[in-house]
Each structure stands twice: as structure tokens, then as C-alpha cells.
Amino acid sequence: MQATATVLVYSDDANTREQVRMAVGRRPAADVPPVEYLECATLPAVLSALEQGGIDVCVLDGESVPAGGMGVCRQIKDEIFNCPPVLVLIGRPQDAWLATWSRADAAVPHPVDPVDLAAALAGLLRHRLSLDA
């Protein structure tokens, strides 16, 4: 198992980024490595981080402005070679179809439920780390 996993958290709202960090904590599940967070508030910062590599999972806020997380997800799935798995935070459970359109690997509704978010993130980390093994 690798020492740590890097989770990119994108939202224009610092409170949303903090909610994600606090909900997941240092380790989303016992069988995945501890996580380090890379916070991004803009699309250019997300693209730059992904181009540099080393990101294991992305958590994108679907309600961000001006670039919403679902549009960002679709863009990075098209443009980033070996794009890491993406979890999208959706505004309403009814928006799950938009998350599917965006090619997100998982979706969790706002407000963030710590158990659901940690479970979804741990599942994506397990998948990503099994591919890298």
C-alpha cells in the first residue's frame, strides 16, 4: 500500500472544501492509505495540478462558479490522459443524471454526509490503487 493518497478538492467555496476535508478526515477507510488534500478554487488550478500528476482522486463541487464541477469533470475526462477517478458533489439527488453525463465515477449530494462521502471516496481510492498495483 502506498504511503499516502492525494485527493484534489475543487470548489470556489472555501467552506465546501473544508466540509469535504472534515467529513472524510485523514483516512476514509482502514484499508486505504491516509489522504493528503490539494485544494483548488479555479479551473486553471485544477488543470495545472492534474497535468503535474500525482492525483489519486478528484472531488469536484458541482455547484462551483463559473466552472461547475460536472463540466470540469467532463473536460478532464476528455483531456487528461489516465484521468483519476472523479467524485462529484451534486446539489440535489435529482441531479444524478447530470453526474452520469459528466462521466463522474461517483456522486454524493449536498449537504455532505460524512459516511456517504467517506465510503464513496474510499471506493474510488481502492479502485485507483488496484489499477496502479
pLDDT of residue 51: 96
Total number of domains in the chain: 1
pLDDT number for residue 5: 97
SS3 93: helix
pLDDT given at position 2: 74
Cα(60)–Cα(88) distance, rounded to whole angstroms?
A: 5
pLDDT on residue 92? 87
**pLDDT digits 0-9 by tens, 17-62:** 999 999 999 999 999 999 999 999 999 999 999 999 999 999 999 9
> What tens digit of pLDDT does each residue of 76-124 get?
999 999 999 999 999 988 888 899 999 999 999 988 999 999 999 999 9
Structural domain harbouring 25: 5-132
Strand order through the sheet with 57-61: 35-40, 5-10, 57-61, 86-90, 106-109
CATH number at residue 75: 3.40.50.2300
